[in-house]
Amino acid sequence: MSIIENTPNLDLTGPSDATNRSPLVTDPAIKADIAKFRTMLDQYLAGDLDEDVFRVFRLTNGIYGQRQGAQNQMVRVRMPFGAVTADQLDMLAFVSEKYSRGWGHITTRQNIQMHYVQLPQIPEVLEHFGSVGLTSREACGDTIRNVQGCHLAGACPFEILDISAWAEAANEHFLRNPLGQRLPRKFKINFSGCETDCGQALFNDAGVVASARKRDDGTIEAGFRVYVAGGLGANPHAALLLEDFTSKEDLMPTLESILRVFEQTGGRENKLRARMKWVVDELGWEETQRRVLKTRKLLPASATWPGGIPDIVAEKGDAPAGTATGVEPTLVGQGVSVKLRARSEYDKWESANVVRGSAKGTVSAYAWCELGDITAAQFRGIASIIRDFDVDVRVSNRQNFVLRDLDESQLPALFERLGELGMAQPGAELIRDVVSCPGADTCGLAVTQSRGLAKAIGEALEAEGLAEIGGVRVNISGCMNSCGQHHIADIGFFGAERRAHGQSAPGYQMLLGGYVGQEKIHFGDKALRLPAKTAAEATVRVMRRFVEEREAGEAFRSWMDRVGGAREIAKGLKDLDEFPTPEENPDFFIDFDETGPFTAEIGVSECAT
């Protein structure tokens, strides 16, 4: 069954105790995964399975240990290319209430995860998810992670191809594929339908961007441009173009060939240098490129050869949405400036959160999820909207929902429904749409409470009347690993321990000018280090200066370069990099959402984002 087809209707709309039956899992692969997990868990709890063996197995099945230790676990559910159904949303609500904290979190890779699930309950949780076609398999660990795709695929007025079916084909081919079960490190695949690159192909191990070329007879052939060995983390690398054009027939073999080269040459002795980007550093780009293309040439001899047009693409098609004749396309997408001139709250939302202008006549709208969090009531509310409005929903990589296949007449009623759910803020692509990783709330590697800073920045921007500035992005990570993608934000922060007056204090490194789009990528430049409690004010100052000095239509990066770069801008923030004594202001030595003195507690690495 296709992952975006509806699953059987379930009555999960009431309180969490309304359903106590054993869920029915019909997918044999998911059923086998759960049975094996139950067996391995029983062995582990009985002391018959080594800790390291169980940890690797647990991560491969999307279960990630929390910094709180004991039996507290994070469960990450795969959402290939962000697709999710109403029944699945109802189940996410049910599980969040019965097993977690009553809410879930959208990640920057279009997954949904829940925290504080107790280890002995994991098989039950997996069964509930499996009953609606959801799986956590390979959502963590040294595997091929959730296959991402542009959340506007099939609704974008600029796309060359609708990449939805292609992303689904890649997910089906690589999930549980023997080639990807014990990789040197994680491997990420991403799809974008045009050079706007809302899917962010330029920092993935294999990034796919739809493209086109002119044949000798003058006709146009649609295909792809494939980028290799991108990555963020502590040492960001821009992906490199494999070849000028990759045909549709060659795309899947190309992806498998990249994976095979990684599996064969990726470093297994040092986890810190085990991604595809380090393969390029070791072999050089020309040798890496040569190996990938040679592997693809010989791949037809393999039993796994996935050549030709995948069946699911042939069945569902990949025709682009297309720009309507005589209509000015509007798009909320990667790095696109949004201007709010309207007065009413509805007009503001319509201006910032609605995408239209395609020849198919589709209209899409963003439902804003503050900090990427969704309560059980919001899960159910979006599920109800899907059914009542007969629409499709995708999860975005900026931690929002996108409601698709709307028509113009539905927008006012949709706005009202989203307002009742607290999701009608004009947030998408505006600076208030701050992205954050979970940080030290649950992650054992995080140094700081990144979510607390994200909330503080949002509140500060609102107070200063700057929250509705468009085309500027703020991203925050609780450590240098860039799970919050701070490297590619206009204003980025990553958490770091500071020392002042003989004490530890929460702090951040501020970066400016990050950007990805138009098949280009800039990683943010270091500006300065700041105490955690002044980072929000620093953001306000930078935004205030940008608004005052920018030229008409000028992007943040262009303005930054014109005024002298990150270091020059940082000069106006130097006074914020000062710590009072603990006696003068003890708040500087306590992190957001904490009550006691700051300590930089970093646990055993299970970095699994």
* Same domain, yes or no: 109 and 168: no
CATH number, domain with residue 501:
3.30.413.10
* The last residue of a domain, from among 130, 151, 176: 130
Spatial separation of the C-alpha atoms in residues 43 and 49, rounded to whole Å: 5
- The arrangement of strands across the sheet holding 103-106 comes to 63-65, 72-77, 112-118, 103-106, 373-375
Instruction: Tell me the Cα Rg of the chain.
Output: 23
What's the CA gap between 83 and 199, in Å, rounded? 14
Q: Are residues 179 and 298 in the same domain?
A: yes
In angstroms, how far is the first alpha carbon of the chain from the final one?
27
Q: What are the per-10-residue average pLDDT scores of the chain (609 residues)?
A: 37 44 86 98 97 96 89 96 98 98 96 96 98 97 96 90 97 96 96 92 96 93 97 93 98 98 94 93 98 97 92 96 63 50 82 79 90 96 98 95 94 97 86 90 89 96 92 94 94 96 96 92 96 98 96 93 97 97 95 83 57
CA distance 601 to 497: 10
Q: What is the pLDDT of residue 98?
A: 97
* 568 and 527 both lie in a single domain: yes
pLDDT for 605 equals: 55
Q: Please answer whether residues 498 and 486 qualify as being in contact, where contact means their C-beta atoms are separated by less than 8 angstroms.
A: no
Residue 67 falls inside a structural domain: yes
Q: Are residues 240 and 283 in the same domain?
A: yes
pLDDT at site 8? 37
What are the percentages of helix, strand and coil residues in the chain, rounded to 5?
35, 20, 45
Residues 126 and 233 in one domain: no
Q: Are residues 501 and 450 in the same domain?
A: yes
Give the domain-ending residue among 292, 316, 340. 316
* 227 and 85 in a common domain: no
Same domain, 48 and 168: no
Q: Burial level of 222, CB count in 10 A (0-12/13-18/19+)?
A: middle
Residues 466 and 581 in one domain: yes
Q: What is the pLDDT of residue 441?
A: 86
Asked if residue 323 belongs to a domain, the reply is no
**424 in any annotated domain:** no
Alpha carbons 90 and 433: distance in angstroms, whole number: 25
CB-CB contact of 122 with 41 (8 Å): yes
Q: Long-range contacts: 208-217, Cβ < 8 Å, 24+?
A: 208/163, 208/166, 208/251, 208/255, 209/519, 210/159, 210/160, 210/161, 210/163, 210/320, 211/160, 211/245, 212/160, 213/244, 213/245
Question: Residue 456 domain-assigned?
Answer: yes
Shared-domain flag, residues 218 and 124: no
Output the domain CATH number for residue 97: 3.90.480.20
| Cα–Cα dist 474/430, whole Å | 9
- Between strands 392-395 and 112-118, the pairing is unpaired
142 is a domain residue: no
CA proximity to 187, closest of 149, 141, 136, 134: 141
Q: Which two tokens stand for residue 245?
A: 């054009």
β-pairing verdict for 354-355 and 363-367: antiparallel
Shared domain check, 207 and 113: no
Structure tokens at 254: 């190309």
The span from the CA of 418 to the CA of 423, in Å, is 5
Strand order in the sheet with 401-406: 83-84, 392-395, 401-406, 363-367, 354-355
171 and 126 housed in the same domain: no
- For the chain, the domain total comes to 3
Helix (H, G, I), strand (E, B) or coil at 429: coil
> What residues pair up with 353 in beta bridges, in sequence order?
none
Which of 316, 343, 362 is where one domain is finished?
316
What count of other Cβ atoms lies within 10 Å of the Cβ of residue 1?
A: 9
Cα angle at 285 between 279 and 286, to 5 degrees? 130
Question: Residue 554 domain-assigned?
Answer: yes
Q: How many CB atoms lie within 10 A of CB 582?
A: 17
Domain that holds residue 89: 16-130
559 lies in a domain? yes
Q: Is 607 inside a domain boundary?
A: no
Which regions of 390-540 does DSSP assign to beta strands (E)?
392-395, 401-406, 435-436, 474-477, 491-500, 503-512, 515-517, 520-522, 525-531
At 224, which amino acid appears? F
Q: Reduce the DSSP state of residue 97 to 3 states and report it.
A: helix
Helix (H) or strand (E) segment spanning residue 360: none
